[in-house]
Amino acid sequence: MKLDSTQKYNGSKIYEGSKNDQLETFRSNHTNQKLTTNQAVKVTNTDDSLKAGNRGPTLMEDFHFREKLTHFDHERIPERVVHARGFGVHGYFQVYESMKEYTKAKFLQNPSIKTPVFVRFSTVVGSRGSADTVRDARGFATKFYTEDGNYDLVGNNIPVFFIQDAIKFPDVVHALKPEPHNEIPQASAAHDTFWDFVVNTPETAHMIMWLLSDRAIPRSFRMMEGFGVNTFRFVNAEGKGRFVKFHWKPLLGVHSLVWDEAQKLAGKDPDYHRRDIWDAINMGEFPEYELGV
């Protein structure tokens, strides 16, 4: 590749040539234009929410954060913004041994008690009618129906995430979704808007390495790990707290599809993953996972 001249544009260097000339009609000059809220209040950036101290929680007085998330939450069509494609299964959870030393949560006390659960597996990007075997992160969300009330452990099959600050969540989802002018590509992150977000947000690097690995095309929901992703806190009866991470491990082991298999299955049987777990349960081959903390 030969790079032999540059010119200034919006304060940054770009390369001249035929491609540069073609792109000129699509460029917007935002020089001296300020970023604002919906109420035209100027903001310095849209990447960081207000925190209580260096490691504290997000403050609800951050009106830009609340406005941005509220706007995102109201972007509703008849299916979900994310995790539209999913499948749910009922079952039960039974702790191996009492966790009394670490937590006062009732469902983690008595090994003889079976706690009803509902688990929803899902892809993230695709619409409700998209294929099961696309390259994507998977949701692994568990609802425990405990004596103390419902406990929701929302997770993914990948232990890290694209962003660190929740204020960027609408941005990463907008980047992941199909292009707005043609609704292409469906159920795939491989398009320019997403890669623009990636190169401008270095913290995505870890998640991208997972997303481009075999973990992004599991062979079955029954052979897929789950992670709480975030760090949580256990508190025991004495009020002592400990930071914990949650990790579901399938008893069948972790297995993936190869890319050629995934593409063929998406065409021949877009319901492959939900059909697999449905048939397994109906044949008495009940999926099992161990919850590690």
Tokens of 220: 């079955």
pLDDT at 155 over 80: yes
What residue ranges define each of the domains in the chain, with the CATH number in brackets? 1-74 (4.10.91.20), 83-292 (2.40.180.10)
Q: Where are the beta strands (DSSP E) in 22-85?
A: none
Q: Which residues contact 195 (CB under 8 A, 6 or more apart)?
A: none
Is residue 198 within 8 Å of residue 204, measured between CB atoms?
A: yes
Its pTM surpasses 0.75? yes
Tens digits of residue pLDDT in 221-272: 999 999 999 999 999 999 999 999 999 999 999 999 999 999 999 999 999 9
Tens digits of residue pLDDT in 125-143: 999 889 999 999 999 999 9
Q: Which helix (H) or strand (E) holds 199?
A: helix 192-200
| CA atoms of 127 and 86, how far apart (whole Å) | 10
**Tokens 């039974």 correspond to what residue?**
94
11: left (phi over 0), alpha (psi -120 to 50) or beta: left
Mind telling me the catalytic residues? Answer: 83, 156
Q: Where are the beta strands (DSSP E) in 100-155?
A: 115-123, 138-146, 149-153
**pLDDT (0 to 100) of residue 78:** 56
pLDDT band per the 50, 70, 90 thresholds, residue 77: low
